[in-house]
């Protein structure tokens, strides 16, 4: 297979409120974590649950919209790519962490079902019409890696 492919699809619940900040260049960036559950049956027939916690980040308008309309416990469907962050800790040890850089997302439930909030209606879908949940948001690509050709 020629080339590379880096695409992630996840659906889960936010483990905390979205943390929005801005870079020194005033670029919005949001950090969030999603809990993805898997239910399976063991060889003995016992039902088991397994939860995977995934750290994510979103940039630009996507970060702003997620911060405005999503909060802890809300289900969300995200599409993005994996990125490996590498650094040295204070003891000089090499550390690394896989993270999902969100390129688009969809609301999974409606505001009424989620208990609402006073933030107002969710963003409109592309093509018009108000969307109170269940819609999607796909902005123009943004972020630090967008000028890298594929």
Res 2 pLDDT > 90? no
- 3-state secondary structure at position 131: coil
Which residues form the domain of 110?
8-40+47-137
| Residue 95 and residue 51 in contact, taking contact as beta carbons nearer than 8 Å | no
In a domain, 83, yes or no: yes
Percentage of the chain beyond pLDDT 70 is: 72
* Within-domain flag for 1: no
Rounded mean pLDDT, 7-17? 97
Residue 57 lies in a domain: yes
Cα–Cα distance measured from residue 62 to residue 142, given in angstroms and rounded to the nearest whole number: 9
The answer to which of 1-5, 26-30, 93-97, 99-103 has the lowest mean pLDDT is: 1-5
At 77, which CATH number?
A: 2.40.50.140
Q: Is the pLDDT of residue 120 over 60?
A: no
Q: Could you give the number of structural domains in the chain? A: 1
Given a cut of 70, whether residue 128 has pLDDT beyond it is: no
Please, what sign has the CA dihedral across residues 141, 54, 134, 62? negative
62 or 131: whose pLDDT is higher?
A: 62
Q: Report yes or no on 148 lying in a domain.
A: no
- Residue 146 lies inside a defined structural domain of this protein: no
Residue in this structure with the two tokens 């649950």, named with its chain if needed: 49
pTM over 0.85: no
């Amino acid at each position: 297979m020629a080339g590379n492919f880096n695409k992630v699809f996840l659906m889960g619940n936010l483990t905390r409120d979205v943390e929005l900040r801005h870079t020194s260049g005033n670029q919005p960036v949001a950090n969030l974590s999603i809990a993805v559950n898997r239910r399976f049956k063991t060889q003995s027939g016992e039902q088991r649950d397994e939860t995977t916690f995934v750290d994510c980040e979103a940039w630009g308008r996507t970060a702003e919209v997620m911060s405005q309309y999503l909060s802890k416990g809300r289900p969300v469907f995200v599409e993005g790519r994996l990125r490996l962050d590498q650094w040295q800790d204070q003891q000089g040890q090499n550390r690394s962490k896989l993270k999902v850089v969100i390129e688009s997302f969809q609301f999974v439930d409606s505001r009424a079902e989620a208990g609402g909030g006073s933030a107002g209606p969710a963003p409109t879908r592309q093509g018009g019409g108000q969307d109170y949940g269940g819609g999607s948001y796909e902005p123009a690509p943004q972020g630090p890696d967008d000028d890298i050709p594929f």
